[in-house]
Amino acid sequence: MNESRFTPETFPLDRGEGGSGSSRLDPRSLAKRPDFALGAATVRPSVRTVEGPGGTATAEPRVMQVLVALVDARGAVLTRDDLIRHCWKGQVVGDDAINRAIGEVRRIARSTDGGFGVETIPRIGYRLSVGEADGADAKAAAATVENAPSRSVITRRAIIAGGLVAAAGGAGYWLTRPEPQDISARLIARSEAALHSGTPEGEARAIALLEKAVASNPAHAAAWGRLALTRARVDEHGILPATIPLTKVSEAADRALELDADNADALSARAVAVPYYGDWIGGERRLRSVLDRHPGHVETVDSYAFFLGAVGRMREGAELRQTIAETAPLDPNFQFRKVYTHWFMGQTEQADRTVTGGLKMWPRHNGLWFARLWLLAGTGRFDRALAHIGDAAGRPPLPPPMVATFATAVSAAQSRDADAIEAATAQVMGGVGRNVASVVSGLMLLNLMGANDPAFALAEAYYLEEGPILSAMDWRPGQPMVPDQRRRKTNMLFTPTAAGMQRDARFMPLMERIGLANYWRRSGATPDFLAASSV
């Protein structure tokens, strides 16, 4: 093989709008490209392979075109239009095609331990990053720099500064001899990639990498802040089969704020870590105080959007979440919440596309699987919902009784047969004492069947600890791991499927008793169901 080091003269990328056709990449042009070194890997465009310490990977032609285009950019940011022009010959292509190609480049970098990655620059584009040969966890999100308070600010500063990678010595130097990065910053980047795996193991690894980062540099405010926030969000929203004590969050947040009093991650961690059920005004105040100082902090925006759903402001929360929907295309947790966003906005086709694409990227992901179930059932597509439940190969690990209950209840909702609904209701209520997931799902299923009496009985047990029903109250290790179910939640009372409950005379007294009616009065906010009834 003819292996050569990449230099600026080897194959420059013409990024001008009026560039000649020769600057565009196609499979035929790949055949003429010499091999070159990239990080710890050797890229062979002519045979579409990447060889690294971790093995060899073969790329599809389009994926290799995207990788070469990023290399040709010499560390500069490529917009989506740039990629379309150079890799798709200017054809109209959707975001899914670009996201898939970028995702494949990242997968190849990880699988080969290639020592390179692709950074997403929110709302702008992508650029290649090259580090030492630890690319198995190459960052799949925006660049992280020391002591930067938030991802949105980090990205802007990185763009202005020209990124984390020094450009000294030309492109050949940049690709083959990267300036050493601060080890803590690299560990933060690797933790971000681990978190985006969408698995319990990934969440545990993300926390472990951040703990290593603060151990290697105890004065690194960004590492402490990210550790605090990751612990807080995993404990509230994640699927790690263990709980994280509040003291662990507080210790990391306090240290970050000692080093940087305006560290957005640490401030967010403090706000997120405190449960807001029953303290709706206080919960909103805590989240808003962070956003007042750091309005672009993605994780806080996400948490506040979830809060708005919990207090009945589903549409407002969905609109807010749409402002950050494109910041994390490779984060499964952001993607499954995006499904609900589209559903609540009445955008069923967009919701379908999002969840279908998500499950292709993260098969059997709990959050995406449940999002598709509720989307299908909630829009009356019961046959498809039943097929989804019955697809054992595509289903996350759930207790067989729970799966059977889903199938029975959805079938009863489809038939509207009184006897079938009665039998399914008994099955639902028989499982609510086992785990919180059965309580949350139970309320959704009862609402789908229009079984208001048992739905209110379950709500009183779960929210007020009253009545003859004994329901699970809190998540415990060993229970099914479903995102966003670690704490007592009210969001399912305000989904489109809960309209029957909302019209019932018992609903407002329930809202009074759990404090939401008082929140609406004091905040001046109107929940969606009341706003709709007043029109």
Give the residue with greater pLDDT, 318 vs 169.
318
* Residue 158 tokens, joined: 């990185």
d(CA 142, CA 123): 11
pLDDT tens-place string over residues 136-170: 333 333 333 333 333 333 332 332 233 333 233 33
Give the torsion sign (CA, 15, 85, 77, 22): negative
d(CA 39, CA 309): 44
Looking at the DSSP bridge assignments, the partners of residue 3 are 35
Decide if pLDDT at 439 tops 50: yes
d(CA 56, CA 54): 7
d(CA 318, CA 308): 9
Q: What is the pTM of this model?
A: 0.66
CB 298 within 8 A of CB 288: no
**Domains in the chain: ranges and CATH:** 1-181 (1.10.10.10), 183-274 (1.25.40.10), 328-533 (1.25.40)
pLDDT tens-place string over residues 255-299: 999 999 999 999 999 999 888 999 999 999 999 999 999 988 989
Tell me the angle at which helices 382-390 and 366-378 cross, rounded to the nearest 10 degrees: 150
**CA distance to 377, 428, 492, per residue, from 445 (Å):** 9, 8, 10
HSE at residue 1, side-chain half, CA atoms within 13 A, is 18
Decide if pLDDT at 240 tops 50: no
Decide if pLDDT at 508 tops 80: yes
Is residue 184 very low, low, confident or very high in pLDDT (cuts 50, 70, 90)? confident
- Give the least confident one: 16-25, 103-112, 408-417, 433-442: 16-25
Name the nearest CA neighbour of 307 among 283, 271, 333, 278: 283
